[in-house]
């Protein structure tokens, strides 16, 4: 059985790049009728935050990716790790290192500058005694040879053993570190396939050594290139929306986000639109690209508008109410309103704004529009239309259309002397949904009110 996982560290929110990695893992598990598991990597107690965990789980809920079994928290498994660390210590695969933080800092600085470190990081590798000083536990990495593995995306990956240092597996406070616990958990959780960002490629070699030390089977690795920002560099908070939930707040549908993300670094011929079912059926990590890709908001917008168009009105109404505080559930003409709007907006947020704009009487009138369309004779048209409306009772858009037509014929005037001004009276400018639909949504009384308001402001007696 295929078992995959997503293993975020709780740092505040679910990152958009993390979501794509999670999606790939989830799809692959689903496709193979396997399991997709969640593990919170919170070994660094100083950074552990409960709200962060909640935020991540919430994001998963929003996009509808369900994980199997219970969520594993590494912070609750320290005794397990301790056992394995002791085992490595006993078998001579690991050792206590008494180097101080200051000494380590010097080594690190030298490495970054490309200089020879002043102190050998393996100083205590063969030290037999015990010192009454704080220590970390390091893994004894091989001194020579090559370490290799077959990456499912990038092919065979090798590194010279001397490139891999004796890495820390337990801190001086006894807590275990990432490269160690990942292996323990992936093994105990039965992981068969690991799809993760290629920023982990280097770590894989260290992890391989741990697998080997325990004699465990090594899962299949797939290292997927990162998502870059629109400038081509690693995405960071500076780039705006990196928090998945930000997309919810901005009015994106989860399936649009998922569709967008699945096509970032993965493709299936020319296909652009994928339902969740199609993604599951068609996804295969062997089709993941080797090159990093850039985040591209226009494409996301396009997908989102596609999914909005294809959403049932009822769903849209609920989202509008729950997420944007625009409640039109009881509005008589809500179907017309939603039908009109869903065809033209890119986001739910935009839709909510449009609804507000329509349902709220205009506070002001667009200057340019007024100048262009509200000539004196036009105002008298509006006044006459107001009267004309008295013994009419249009309800649906076609009826409103007929009423306007009739009026135009009766007066012998062109549409532009009635329609744009009418629209200005309704919403304050000349842009928006079909006029007949707009009038229908507002209803005759409101239409009259708004015409009167406009006349009151511009009519000169």
Partner RNA sequence: GUCCCCAUCGUCUAGUGGUCUAGGAUACCGCCCUUUCACGGCGGCGACACGGGUUCGAAUCCCGUUGGGGACGCCA
For RNA, give the closer residue by CB, 376 or 405.
405
Residues between 228 and 287 with contacts to RNA, criterion CB under 7 A? 228, 232-234, 263-267, 269-270, 272, 287
Q: Is 368 in the site for RNA (CB under 7 A)?
A: no
For RNA, give the closer residue by CB, 1 or 112.
112
Q: Is 100 in the site for RNA (CB under 7 A)?
A: yes
- The contact pattern for RNA, residues 386-405, with x = CB under 7 A and - = no contact, is --------------------
Of 31, 122, 220, 299, the one binding RNA (CB under 7 A) is 299
Positive or negative, the CA dihedral 9, 12, 16, 19 is positive
Q: Is 420 in the site for RNA (CB under 7 A)?
A: yes
- Under rule CB under 7 A, how many of the chain's residues touch RNA? 83
For RNA, give the closer residue by CB, 31 or 154.
154
Of 108, 146, 318, 457, the one binding RNA (CB under 7 A) is 108
Question: Shortest gap between Cβ of 417 and RNA (angstroms)?
Answer: 10
Residues between 117 and 176 with contacts to RNA, criterion CB under 7 A? 134, 136, 154-155, 157, 159, 163, 167-168, 171-173, 175
For RNA, give the closer residue by CB, 112 or 460.
112
Of 323, 335, 366, 434, the one binding RNA (CB under 7 A) is 434
Of 4, 21, 25, 43, the one binding RNA (CB under 7 A) is 43
Question: Shortest gap between Cβ of 81 and RNA (angstroms)?
Answer: 11
For RNA, give the closer residue by CB, 296 or 327.
296
- The contact pattern for RNA, residues 169-208, with x = CB under 7 A and - = no contact, is --xxx-x-xxx------------------xxxxxx-----
């Amino acid at each position: 059985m295929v078992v995959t996982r997503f293993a975020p560290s709780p740092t505040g929110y679910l990152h958009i790049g993390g979501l794509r990695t999670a999606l790939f893992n989830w799809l692959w598990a689903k496709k193979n009728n396997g399991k997709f598991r969640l593990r919170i990597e919170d070994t660094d107690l100083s950074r552990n935050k409960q709200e962060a965990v909640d935020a991540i789980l919430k994001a998963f809920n929003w996009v509808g990716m369900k994980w199997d079994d219970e969520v594993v928290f590494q912070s609750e498994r320290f005794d397990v790790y301790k056992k394995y660390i002791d085992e490595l210590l006993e078998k001579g695969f690991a050792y206590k290192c008494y180097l101080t933080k200051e000494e380590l800092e010097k080594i690190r600085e030298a490495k970054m500058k490309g200089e020879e470190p002043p102190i050998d990081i393996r100083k205590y590798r063969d030290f037999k005694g015990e010192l009454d000083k704080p220590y970390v536990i390091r893994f004894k990495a091989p001194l020579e040879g090559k370490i290799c593995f077959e990456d499912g995306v990038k092919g065979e990956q090798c590194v010279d053993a001397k490139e891999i240092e004796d890495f820390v597996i337990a801190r001086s406070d006894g807590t275990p570190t990432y490269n160690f616990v990942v292996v323990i958990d992936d093994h105990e959780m039965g992981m068969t396939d690991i799809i993760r960002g290629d920023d982990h490629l280097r770590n894989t070699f260290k992890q391989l050594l741990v697998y080997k030390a325990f004699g465990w089977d090594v899962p299949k690795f797939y290292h997927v290139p990162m998502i870059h920002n629109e400038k081509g560099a690693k995405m960071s908070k500076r780039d705006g929306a990196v928090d998945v939930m930000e997309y919810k707040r901005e009015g994106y549908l989860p399936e649009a986000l998922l569709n967008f993300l699945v096509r970032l670094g993965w493709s299936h011929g020319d296909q652009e639109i994928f339902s969740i079912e199609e993604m599951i059926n068609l996804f295969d990590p062997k089709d993941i690209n080797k090159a990093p890709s850039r985040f591209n908001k226009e494409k996301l917008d396009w997908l989102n508008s596609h999914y909005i168009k294809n959403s049932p009105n009822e769903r849209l109404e609920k989202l509008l109410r729950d997420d944007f505080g625009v409640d039109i559930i009881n509005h008589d003409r809500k179907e017309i309103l939603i039908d009109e709007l869903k065809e033209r907006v890119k986001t739910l947020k935009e839709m909510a704004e449009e609804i507000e704009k329509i349902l709220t009487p205009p506070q002001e009138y667009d200057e340019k529009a007024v100048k262009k369309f509200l000539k004196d004779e036009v105002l008298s048209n509006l006044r006459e239309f107001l009267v004309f409306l008295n013994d009419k009772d249009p309800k649906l858009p076609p009826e409103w259309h007929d009423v306007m037509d009739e009026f135009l014929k009766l007066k012998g005037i062109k549409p532009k002397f009635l329609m744009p001004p009418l629209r200005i009276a309704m919403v304050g400018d000349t842009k928006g949904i079909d006029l007949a639909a707009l009038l229908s949504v507002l209803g005759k009384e409101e239409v009259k009110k708004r015409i009167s308001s406009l006349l009151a402001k511009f009519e000169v007696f």
